Amino acid sequence: MVSASDNMAVETAMAQENTQQHFLTDAAYRQRVEEDFQKRKAIIGGNFCNVAKLSATQAELEALQFLYAYMPLADITDHTVEYYLANVRASNKARQQMAWGKNVPELLFRHFVLPVRVNNEELDDARSVFYDELKGRIAGLSMRDAILEINHWCHEKVTYQPSDPRTSSPLATVRSAYGRCGEESTLLVAALRAMGIPARQVYTPRWAHTDDNHAWVEAWADGKWYFLGACEPEPVLDLGWFNAPASRALLMHTRVFGYYDGPEEVFLRTPCNTEINLIGNYGETANVDFTIVDENGVPVSGARVDFCIYNYAEYCPVVAKFTDAAGHTSLTAGKGDMMVWASKDGKYGFAKVAFATDKALRISLSHNVAVREQSEATDSFDIVPPPEKANVPFVSPEQRAENNRRFEYEDSLRHAYLATFYTHERAVDALKGKVVGASAEGLQRLATFLEKSSGNHQVILDFITKNAVSAEKTQRVTDLLATLSDKDLRDIRMAILDDSYAAGTQLSPRVENEMITRTFKAEFRSMFSDKEKRKFQKNPLELVKWIKKNIRMNPDKKSPMIAQTPMGAYDYKITDRRSRNILFVDMARSFDIEARVDPVTGKTQYKAEGKWADVNFEKVVKQVAPQGTLMLRYEKNAIVDDPKYFSHFTISRINANGTTSLLEYPEEGTTWGSTFKDGVSLDAGQYLLVTGMRLASGAVKSEARLFSVEEGKTTDLDLKIRTSPTDVSVIGSFNSEAKFQTLDGREVTFLSQTGRGYFITGLIGVGQEPTNHALKDIAKVAAEFDKWGRPLVLLFEDEAAAKKFNAKEFPGLPKNIIFGIDAGGAVRQEISENMKLSNKSLSPIFFISDTFNRVVFIKQGYTISLGEQMEQVIRTL
Summarised one tens digit per residue, pLDDT across range 459-509 is 999 999 999 999 999 999 999 999 999 999 999 999 999 999 999 999 999
Please give the Cα distance from 80 to 84 (Å, whole number). Answer: 7
In the predicted model, what is the mean pLDDT of residues 446-469?
97
- What's the 3-state SS for 86-104? HHHHHHHHHHHHCCCHHHC
Please provide the DSSP assignment of 20-65 as one string. HS-SS--HHHHHHHHHHHHHHHHHH-TTTT--TT----HHHHHHHH
What percent of the chain shows pLDDT beyond 90? 79
Kindly indicate the confidence band of residue 15, based on its pLDDT and cuts at 50, 70 and 90: very low
pLDDT digits (tens, 9 = 90+) for 173-183: 999 999 999 99
In the predicted model, what is the mean pLDDT of residues 205-217?
91
In the predicted model, what is the mean pLDDT of residues 391-413?
93
Most confident of the following: 7-16, 494-503, 611-620, 863-872: 494-503
Number of helices (H), then strands (E), in the chain: 29, 37
If you average pLDDT over every residue of the chain, what do you get? 92
Helix axes 58-70, 81-97, angle to 10 degrees: 120
In the predicted model, what is the mean pLDDT of residues 356-376?
88
Please check the confidence at residue 13 and state whether its pLDDT lies above 50.
no
pTM above 0.85, yes or no: yes
* CATH class of the structural domain 627-718: mainly beta
Kindly indicate the confidence band of residue 5, based on its pLDDT and cuts at 50, 70 and 90: very low
Please give the Cα distance from 362 to 407 (Å, whole number). Answer: 52
Query: Is the separation of the CB atoms in 868 and 647 below 8 Å?
Result: yes
pLDDT on residue 369: 94
* CATH class of the structural domain 284-382: mainly beta
pLDDT digits (tens, 9 = 90+) for 270-283: 999 999 999 999 99
Kindly indicate the confidence band of residue 757, based on its pLDDT and cuts at 50, 70 and 90: confident
The dotted CATH code for 732-876 is 3.40.30.10
What percent of the chain shows pLDDT beyond 70? 96
Pairing of strands 845-850, 854-860: antiparallel
Of residues 592, 570, 445, the one with CA closest to residue 525? 592
pLDDT digits (tens, 9 = 90+) for 792-849: 999 999 998 999 898 888 999 999 999 999 999 999 999 998 887 877 888 999 999 9
Please check the confidence at residue 16 and state whether its pLDDT lies above 50.
no
Kindly indicate the confidence band of residue 623, based on its pLDDT and cuts at 50, 70 and 90: confident
Please give the Cα distance from 755 to 734 (Å, whole number). Answer: 15
Please check the confidence at residue 307 and state whether its pLDDT lies above 60.
yes
Distance set, CA 397 to CA 151, 155, 394 (Å): 20, 21, 10
pLDDT on residue 12: 45
pLDDT digits (tens, 9 = 90+) for 562-574: 999 999 999 999 9
- Radius of gyration of the CA atoms of the chain, in A: 28
In the predicted model, what is the mean pLDDT of residues 63-73?
97
pLDDT on residue 431: 97
pLDDT on residue 10: 45
Please give the Cα distance from 239 to 229 (Å, whole number). Answer: 8
DSSP 3-state percent helix, strand, coil across the chain (nearest 5): 35, 25, 40
Pairing of strands 700-709, 685-694: antiparallel
pLDDT on residue 374: 60
Domain boundaries of the chain, sorted by first residue: 4-257, 284-382, 421-492, 627-718, 732-876
Please give the Cα distance from 114 to 24 (Å, whole number). Answer: 12
pLDDT on residue 726: 63
Please give the Cα distance from 743 to 819 (Å, whole number). Answer: 7
Pairing of strands 224-228, 214-221: antiparallel
pLDDT on residue 396: 95
pLDDT on residue 601: 95
Please check the confidence at residue 154 and state whether its pLDDT lies above 70.
yes
**CB neighbour list of residue 795: distance below 8 Å, 6 or more residues apart:** 740, 761, 762, 763, 764, 819, 820, 821, 822, 827
Please check the confidence at residue 539 and state whether its pLDDT lies above 90.
yes
In the predicted model, what is the mean pLDDT of residues 741-765?
91
* Choice between 15 and 376, residue whose per-residue pLDDT is larger: 376
In the predicted model, what is the mean pLDDT of residues 142-163?
95
Please check the confidence at residue 57 and state whether its pLDDT lies above 90.
yes
Q: Which of 70-79, 356-365, 551-560 is the least confident region?
A: 551-560
Please check the confidence at residue 19 and state whether its pLDDT lies above 60.
no
Which strand (E) or helix (H) includes residue 186?
helix 181-194
pLDDT on residue 46: 80
In the predicted model, what is the mean pLDDT of residues 194-218?
94
Kindly indicate the confidence band of residue 8, based on its pLDDT and cuts at 50, 70 and 90: very low
Kindly indicate the confidence band of residue 378, based on its pLDDT and cuts at 50, 70 and 90: confident
pLDDT on residue 114: 98
156 φ/ψ angles, rounded to the nearest 5 degrees: -60, -30
Q: What is the DSSP letter of 122?
A: P
Q: Do domains 627-718 and 732-876 have the same CATH topology?
A: no
Q: Which of 489-493, 655-659, 854-858 is the least confident region?
A: 854-858
In the predicted model, what is the mean pLDDT of residues 54-83?
96
pLDDT digits (tens, 9 = 90+) for 416-425: 999 999 999 9
pLDDT on residue 373: 66
265 φ/ψ angles, rounded to the nearest 5 degrees: -65, 135
Please check the confidence at residue 18 and state whether its pLDDT lies above 50.
no
